[in-house]
Structure 1
Amino acid sequence: MQAFSNNSKNNITVSIIIVVYNAKSTITQAIQSVIDQVGSFELVIIDGGSTDGTVDVIKDYENEIDFWVSEPDNGIYDAMNKGVKNSNGKWIYFLGADDVLNPDVINRIQPILIDSKCALVYGDIKYTNGGFFKSHYSFITYIQNTIHHQAAFYNRSLFDNFAYDIKMRIISDYELNLIIYLNKSKYQRINVTVATCSKDGRSRNPKLSYKETNIIRQKYLKGYLELSSRLLLGTKFIVMTLYRFIKKNSHRYS
């Protein structure tokens, strides 16, 4: 295990947590996008024991990092739990190792966070391919995750009674977002594009996303709502699968 702590800051507004494993080619831009911010924040990096030179990059920025550790873990959500435990901010934000925090975001959002009594403050994200994800809470939240993780600032108090499920691989954040919605906790949407992201795991692995979403919904949703949402989600999965099949094989019919 390699570790470094410089947690000497007090009254931190936002803990920005980056979890990473073998991302040497992208971690530099992620870190730089954080240290270029202005405001009350700390940077926490949890590395899963990278072997590709990622740790060397982290060490290059050691004076700008408040806490980092490199050791084997049990996946992304185990690393995120470690990040929360080793952070001090009143708000928690997770940045992907292949994503970047957009310029001046912390400076713009900090006044909102300081005065907010909400469990969650969230905005939008854009993708590197030019697309956008507009986060929102609605009835659709019963069916699938509608809050992008890289658009969300979570009140630290949420983690007094919650930890990410390390058995999940790509969608444990849906559980926390669903809990907030079901508990009718206060939340606030802000008109800010928080980060620029690569395509997420749900897009790369829709079958696993469907499976893990069902596990979470079965845990919290009962009765006809559970049945109806499963049918709707199943329909969406079938439509997406057919769309990808047609797109992939369209040349055969042209």
Structure 2
Amino acid sequence: MQPKLSVITIVYNNVKDIERTMLSVLNQTYPNIEYIIIDGASKDGTKDIIYNYKSRLAQFISEPDKGIYDAMNKGLSLATGDYVLFMNSGDEIYGPETVTEVFGSADSADIYYGETEMYDEQWQSLGQRRHRAPEHFNWKSFRHGMSVSHQAIYVKRSIAGPFDLQYKFSADIDWIIRAAKNASSIVNTHSYVAKYLVGGVSKKKHLESLKERFKIFTKYYGLVPNLFNHVFIALNLAQYYIRHRKTND
């Protein structure tokens, strides 16, 4: 029996990208997918595009929400699949065979994960994420940075609780760590599974996001280890930018 996958897309006023994301889900060769779209009452034509595919959707809600993680919780509450995957507007499942390949990589894992390719706003590839997916992943793997993006992780719904709404920017990190703590089997698919649209988050929000991440990592890993880990993160970041600058010179 092939497991049922609930794919949840969150969108608000993204008429430019929503169809591309939807088609990456709807064109999957895997037969047992439940597609749920949660729209935050878009006013730019996004809903009109979604309605074109309404007959192929399991659920479609368009109403105001209290932010992205509130919308994600709405999607989770509607999901009936064995696994859940969040593929937000602008991102894509990597290729038409991806879901088939993910579930074909091992039987009945609690979590499947893979690699992410980054894309700019013109949908030009920027290559692999700076944080590569680790060979082995568990709840401690984020201590040196977010090594697996939420677009690239398939989580068994029975171990996936709701997102903690006290976090406005980094609740996905907390959610993945909690799921990983509950997981007994985590499988690396050793393949690209997602395409991620690099967003233009403001510097203010970026700083607030970093503060939230520090708070989350402290909760799980402890303050002193987290401080040491952030020194490691800073050194890695500096090395990355030095190497990147050399290759561009």
Give the TM-score, by structure 2 length.
Answer: 0.80
SS state of the match for residue 211, structure 2?
A: helix
Query: d(CA) in 1 for partners of 2:236 and 2:201?
Result: 15
- The answer to whether the 8 Å contact 1:19/1:47 transfers is yes
Query: d(CA) in 2 for partners of 1:18 and 1:92?
Result: 11
Give CA-to-partner distance per residue, 1:56-87, whole Å, 9 cap, x none.
Answer: 11111111111110001111111111111111
Query: d(CA) in 2 for partners of 1:202 and 1:35?
Result: 28
> CA 1:183–1:40 in structure 2 vs 1: closer, same or farther (change >3 Å)?
closer
Query: d(CA) in 2 for partners of 1:64 and 1:47?
Result: 16
Partner of 2:62: 70
Corresponding letter in the other structure for 2:18: I
Corresponding letter in the other structure for 1:233: H
- The answer to whether the 8 Å contact 1:135/1:151 transfers is no
Equivalent residue for 2:114, pick from 113, 123, 139: 123
Partner of 1:229: 226
Q: Work out whether 1:164 is the aligned partner of 2:163.
A: yes
Q: Work out whether 1:24 is the aligned partner of 2:15.
A: yes
Query: d(CA) in 1 for partners of 2:227 and 2:210?
Result: 10
Shift of 1:228: 3.0
Shift of 1:216: 1.1
Corresponding letter in the other structure for 1:232: N
- The answer to whether the 8 Å contact 2:7/2:86 transfers is yes
Unpaired runs of 5+ residues, structure 2, are 120-124, 245-249
Partner of 2:73: 81
Q: Work out whether 1:151 is the aligned partner of 2:152.
A: yes
Shift of 1:12: 5.6
- The answer to whether the 8 Å contact 2:111/2:183 transfers is no
Q: Work out whether 1:213 is the aligned partner of 2:213.
A: yes
User: Which one has the largest radius of gyration?
Assistant: 1
SS state of the match for residue 167, structure 1?
A: coil
Query: d(CA) in 1 for partners of 2:71 and 2:145?
Result: 23
Partner of 1:33: 24
- The answer to whether the 8 Å contact 2:13/2:43 transfers is yes
Partner of 2:247: none
1:123-142 equivalences under 5 Å are: 123-128=114-119, 129-133=125-129, 134-136=132-134, 137=137, 140-142=141-143
Equivalences, count: 230
> CA 1:73–1:29 in structure 2 vs 1: closer, same or farther (change >3 Å)?
same
Partner of 1:55: 47
Equivalent residue for 1:45, pick from 25, 37, 43: 37
Shift of 1:186: 2.2
Shift of 1:237: 5.3
Partner of 1:111: 104
SS state of the match for residue 163, structure 2?
A: coil
Give CA-to-partner distance per residue, 1:88-107, whole Å, 9 cap, x none.
Answer: 11000010200111221122
Corresponding letter in the other structure for 2:102: I
- The answer to whether the 8 Å contact 2:111/2:180 transfers is no
Query: After the TM superposition, which of the residue ranges 98-107 and 173-182 deviates more from structure 2?
Result: 173-182
> CA 1:89–1:11 in structure 2 vs 1: closer, same or farther (change >3 Å)?
farther
> CA 1:78–1:235 in structure 2 vs 1: closer, same or farther (change >3 Å)?
same
Corresponding letter in the other structure for 1:76: I
Partner of 1:177: 176
Query: d(CA) in 1 for partners of 2:200 and 2:228?
Result: 22
